[in-house]
Amino acid sequence: MALSRHDLLTIGQLSERSGLAASALRYYEKLGLIHAERTAGGQRRYARATLRRVAFVRAAQRVGLSLDEARTALDRLPEDRAPSVTEWSGVAESWQSRIDQQIAELETLKRKLTGCIGCGCLSLSRCALYNAGDRAGAAGPGARYLFTRDPSTGPEPHSQTC
């Protein structure tokens, strides 16, 4: 079924309504997250239902899904209408473990930050308890102890302070 002009949004309108920059919308289109029709002059026109898809992608990112994962989930949902309860339930179920994992990681982060700040040194490069000799720095970039533990770096840091 062809959409009327009233049912189509320009990229500027979609940007304004979704809160995303036009460049981000073009990137989403390039990745296959959203789709546009083209006018005779080559301008993009988006169905109003695209607003729902953009909101879905943003929600997926907030729970830690990559854009590829969001596209996989979107492929399970209708593009031209709101998903049914059954369709949405399938996607929501697939997010549950990711959300639970994020909650656990945030709780770990909260616990470890509270402990480290509590010791008073505020320096992971000098902390004799948590990172003696800056072993973490020698192991490479990024958070070395936050969510995983590399046994080759020495004894487990105590959990009450750094």
> Would the CA dihedral through 10, 12, 13, 15 be positive or negative?
positive
pTM score over 0.85: no
Exposure on the CB side of residue 6, measured as CA atoms within 13 A: 0
Q: What is the pLDDT of residue 151?
A: 41
In a domain, 60, yes or no: yes
Side-chain-side CA neighbours of residue 61 (13 Å): 9
Residue 162 inside a domain? The answer is no
Asked if residues 46 and 9 have their Cβ atoms less than 8 Å apart, the reply is yes
Write down the pLDDT at residue 53. Answer: 93
Phi (first) and psi of residue 60, to 5 degrees: -60, -45
> Is the residue at 58 inside a domain?
yes
pLDDT of residue 162: 43
User: Is 158 inside a domain boundary?
Assistant: no
DSSP string, 78-108: -SSSPPPHHHHHHHHHHHHHHHHHHHHHHHH
Instruction: Write the single-letter amino acid at 82.
Output: A
| pLDDT for residue 45 | 96
Q: How far apart are CA 79 and CA 67, in angstroms?
A: 17
At 117 the pLDDT is 59
Number of helices and strands in the chain (H, E): 6, 3
In a domain, 97, yes or no: no
Strand partners, 9: 46
The whole-number pLDDT of residue 48 equals: 92
The tens-digit pLDDT sequence of the chain (162 residues) is 455 667 899 999 999 999 999 999 999 999 999 999 999 999 999 999 999 999 999 999 988 889 999 999 899 888 878 889 999 898 888 888 888 988 998 888 787 776 665 565 555 565 666 666 666 677 777 665 555 554 444 444 444 444
Q: Is 50 a domain residue? A: yes
| Residue ranges making up the domain that contains 25 | 1-83
| Residue from 55, 7, 9, 2 nearest 33 by CA | 55
pLDDT for the residue numbered 119: 60
CATH code where residue 21 lies: 1.10.1660.10
Instruction: Give the count of domains, the chain.
Output: 1
| pLDDT on residue 125 | 60
The structure tokens listed for 17 are: 């309504």
What is residue 35's predicted lDDT score, i.e. its pLDDT?
A: 94
> Residue 76 falls within a domain, yes or no?
yes
Q: What gap in Å lies between CA 129 and CA 139, rounded to an integer? A: 17
Give domain status of residue 151, yes or no.
no
